[in-house]
C-alpha cells in the first residue's frame, strides 16, 4: 500500500480504503456480541441464580478508539517500515500485546528518557493517547521520522489551559500522579524554554492541604521540596512560586476530588491575599475528561440504585481511570479489580489487584452460592471482549454457556448460530 500524503505533506491514515480494513480488524479483535446486546437493550443476564448487570457507561471511550484505530492504520499504511510506540498506546496489556503481535515495537523508557538515537527518517513513531513530553516531540521533529500522534483531544485541552497559565506567569498546580505519562506530558507544557514558569503536582487532598497551609503561613522550604521531590519544575521555590496559581488536572482523576482541590486552593488564596484580590492569585478550569466522568457517574448511579452482592472492575492495573472506579466500588461493597477473566480462578478463588499494597492478591469464597447479583464495569481503556470473557467465565461457574442466554434471532444476526433454514417449511 502506497503512503497517502495530502496537500500539506502530511500522511493521511484515515482514507476510506484504510479505515474499512482497520475497522474490520479492530472489530475482529475487540468486539463482543454479548456486551453489544446488553448495551443496546439496556438489559441484564440472569440464570441459575446468577444475575450479571453492566454499568450504563463502560469500556472504550472515543479517544481510546481513535488511538487504536490510528495505530492499526499505521501498521497498514507503513507496512515495511519499522514502527515504534512511545511506551504504551493505552493502559491495557491485552491491547498493547496485540500491537506487538502486529509488529509495532515499544520504545522503552529508562529513568524517564526514551532512547530515540537509533531512529531514522524512514521510521514511524506512534505517540500514545496520553501524549508525550515537549522535549520528546521536539526530538522526533528533529529526526524527521513519520509521527503518528494519537494524543487525546481532552488531554490537549488541558495542555492549552496550562499554556495559558504559563503565558500569564502563573504556576500550574496539576491534580494528578506525577509519575503518570499524561501528567509528565502536561507539566512539560507548563514550562517555557526560557524558564521562569513553574508547576507543582499534587496527588491527594492531604498534599493539597499541606501546600495550602504553606500558602497561608509559610513553612520549612527544605521540607516542602523534599516532600514533593519529583513533582515540581526545576528551580521551583514555594516561597516565590505559589503567589499566583492555576489549577488543572490529569484528565482521569475523580471529578469531585479535583473540584475539592480547586476549592481548597481558592480558599487558601482568599485567606492569604483577600477575596477582592483573588483574580490576581487564583485561576481554575474544568479539565476532567467527559468519558471519565460519564463512567464515574454511571457507576455512582449503579451503586446507589442496584442491589448487588459484589462488583467486578475490569481493566489494566496501571489505568488511572479504572483504578478510580475500583476505589468507588470499594467504598460501598466487595469489589474486585481484575485485569481479565483469567483472574477468576474458580468460584472459590479470585486473583485481584490490591491498590493499597500495589500487588495482586488471592481472595477466597468471593462468589456467594445461591442467588447472587454481580455488577461489572470497566475503564475507558478496556475492550469489550475482555468484559465478555469475564461474563462467560462467571456463567461457566454455574454450568451455563452465556451465549444461550441471548435471544436466538440475535444470535443468528451476529453469526453465533447458523441462520434458520426456512426453505423446508415451504414444501
Distance (Å) of CA 262 to CA 249, 269, 322: 10, 11, 23
CB atoms within 10 A of CB 273: 16
Burial status of residue 319 (CB atoms within 10 A of its CB: 0-12, 13-18, 19 or more): buried
Contact, 68 vs 89, CB < 8 A?
yes
Per the structure block, which three cell numbers stand in for 211?
A: 501546600
Task: Return d(Cα 399, Cα 407) in angstroms, integer.
Answer: 19
What DSSP letter does each residue of 243-271 carry, written as one string? SSEEEEE-TTS-HHHHHHHHHHHHHHHHH
Q: Say whether 182 is catalytic.
A: yes
Place of cell 495530502: 6
The count of other CB atoms within 10 Å of the CB of residue 216 is 13
- Active site residue: 88, 182, 388, 389, which one? 182
Is residue 375 classed as helix, strand or coil in its secondary structure? Answer: strand
Nearest-angstrom CA–CA distance, 127 and 30 = 21
Q: In 3-state terms, what secondary structure has residue 75?
A: helix
SS (H, E, C) 305-354: HCCCCEEEEECCCCCHHHHHHHHHHHCCCCEEEECCHHHCCCCCEEEEEE
The residue written with cell numbers 496537500 in the block is 7
Q: Is the dihedral of CA 395, 382, 299, 361 positive or negative?
A: positive
Residues designated as active site: 182
Amino acid at each position: 500500500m502506497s503512503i497517502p500524503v495530502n496537500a500539506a505533506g502530511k500522511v493521511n491514515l484515515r482514507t476510506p480504503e484504510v479505515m474499512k480494513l482497520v475497522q474490520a480488524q479492530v472489530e475482529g479483535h475487540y468486539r463482543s456480541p454479548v456486551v453489544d446486546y446488553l448495551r443496546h437493550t439496556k438489559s441484564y443476564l440472569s440464570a441459575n441464580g446468577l444475575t450479571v448487570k453492566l454499568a450504563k457507561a463502560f469500556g472504550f471511550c472515543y479517544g481510546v478508539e481513535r488511538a487504536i484505530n490510528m495505530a492499526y492504520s499505521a501498521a497498514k499504511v507503513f507496512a515495511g517500515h519499522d514502527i515504534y510506540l512511545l511506551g504504551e498506546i493505552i493502559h491495557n496489556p491485552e491491547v498493547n500485546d496485540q500491537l506487538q503481535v502486529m509488529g509495532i515495537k515499544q520504545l522503552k523508557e529508562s529513568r524517564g528518557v526514551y532512547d530515540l538515537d537509533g531512529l531514522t527518517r524512514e521510521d514511524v513513531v506512534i505517540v500514545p493517547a496520553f501524549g508525550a513530553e515537549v522535549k520528546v516531540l521536539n526530538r522526533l521533529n528533529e529526526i524527521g521520522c513519520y509521527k503518528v500522534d494519537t494524543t487525546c483531544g481532552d488531554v490537549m485541552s488541558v495542555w492549552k489551559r496550562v499554556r495559558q497559565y504559563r503565558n500569564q506567569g502563573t504556576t500550574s498546580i496539576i491534580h494528578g500522579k506525577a509519575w503518570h505519562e499524561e501528567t509528565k506530558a502536561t507539566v512539560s507544557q507548563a514550562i517555557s524554554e526560557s524558564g521562569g514558569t513553574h508547576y507543582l503536582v499534587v496527588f491527594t487532598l492531604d498534599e493539597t492541604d499541606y501546600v495550602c497551609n504553606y500558602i497561608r503561613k509559610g513553612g520549612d522550604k527544605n521540607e516542602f521540596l523534599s516532600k514533593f521531590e519529583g513533582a515540581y519544575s526545576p528551580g521551583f521555590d514555594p516561597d516565590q512560586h505559589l503567589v499566583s496559581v492555576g489549577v488543572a488536572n490529569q484528565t482521569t482523576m475523580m471529578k469531585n476530588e479535583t473540584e475539592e482541590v480547586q476549592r481548597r486552593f481558592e480558599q487558601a488564596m482568599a485567606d492569604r491575599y483577600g477575596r477582592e484580590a483573588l483574580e490576581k492569585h487564583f485561576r481554575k478550569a474544568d479539565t476532567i475528561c467527559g468519558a471519565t466522568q460519564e463512567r464515574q457517574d454511571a457507576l455512582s448511579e449503579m451503586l446507589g440504585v442496584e442491589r448487588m452482592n459484589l462488583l467486578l472492575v475490569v481493566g489494566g492495573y496501571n489505568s488511572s481511570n479504572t483504578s478510580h472506579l475500583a476505589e468507588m466500588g470499594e467504598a460501598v461493597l466487595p469489589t474486585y479489580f481484575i485485569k481479565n477473566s483469567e483472574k477468576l480462578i474458580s468460584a472459590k478463588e479470585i486473583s485481584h489487584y490490591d491498590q493499597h499494597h500495589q500487588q495482586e492478591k488471592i481472595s477466597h469464597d468471593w462468589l456467594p452460592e445461591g442467588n447472587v447479583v454481580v455488577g461489572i464495569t470497566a475503564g475507558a481503556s478496556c475492550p469489550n471482549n475482555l468484559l465478555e470473557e469475564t461474563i462467560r467465565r462467571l456463567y461457566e461457574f454455574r454450568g451455563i454457556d452465556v451465549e444461550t442466554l441471548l435471544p436466538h434471532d440475535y444470535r443468528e444476526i451476529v453469526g453465533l448460530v447458523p441462520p434458520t433454514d426456512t426453505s423446508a417449511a415451504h414444501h
